[in-house]
């Protein structure tokens, strides 16, 4: 059974950094482009960034590009999101996503094959 499990969320102070991890199982991980989305309270789920199957291509939301880095380790079936200089508005649930067609690299969530359950990130002042 295909599964994505996020970890690394929690309560962090504004200005700090965090690293979220996503462990994939039950799928041929290296076939999939992987991405991160987030959803703030009362808002729609938004694209954070994505990485292609071999890690050589990344794409980020324009507003987050300067503070975000996505990486992956195909040997471990893991994808990571590192964010620095966290702001209060970064608070939300962060979701990992897998897309076989790689349209996630355009920020498109409509073709996501698998979603994780999400991990809560709360940024405090």
Res. 85 pLDDT band, cuts 50 70 90: very high
**Can you give the length of the chain in residues?**
125
The closest of 37, 23, 33, 117 to 77, measured between CA atoms, is 23
Res. 60 pLDDT band, cuts 50 70 90: very high
- Can you give the pLDDT at residue 102? 93
Q: Contact 50/61 with Cβ under 8 angstroms?
A: no
Q: Which residue has the tokens 């709360």?
A: 122
Phi, psi (deg, nearest 5) at residue 24? -105, 145
Q: What is the mean pLDDT of residues 15-37?
A: 97
């Amino acid at each position: 059974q295909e599964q994505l499990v996020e970890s690394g969320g929690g309560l962090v102070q504004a200005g700090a950094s965090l690293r979220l991890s996503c462990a994939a199982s039950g799928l041929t991980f290296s076939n999939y482009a992987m991405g991160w989305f987030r959803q703030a309270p009362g808002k729609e789920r938004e694209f954070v960034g994505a990485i292609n199957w071999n890690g050589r291509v990344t794409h980020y939301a324009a507003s987050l590009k300067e503070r975000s880095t996505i990486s992956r380790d195909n040997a471990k079936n893991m994808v990571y999101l590192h964010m620095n200089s966290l702001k209060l508005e970064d608070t939300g649930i962060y979701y990992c996503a897998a897309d076989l067609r790689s349209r996630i690299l355009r920020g498109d969530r409509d073709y996501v094959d698998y979603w994780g359950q999400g991990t809560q990130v709360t940024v405090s002042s």
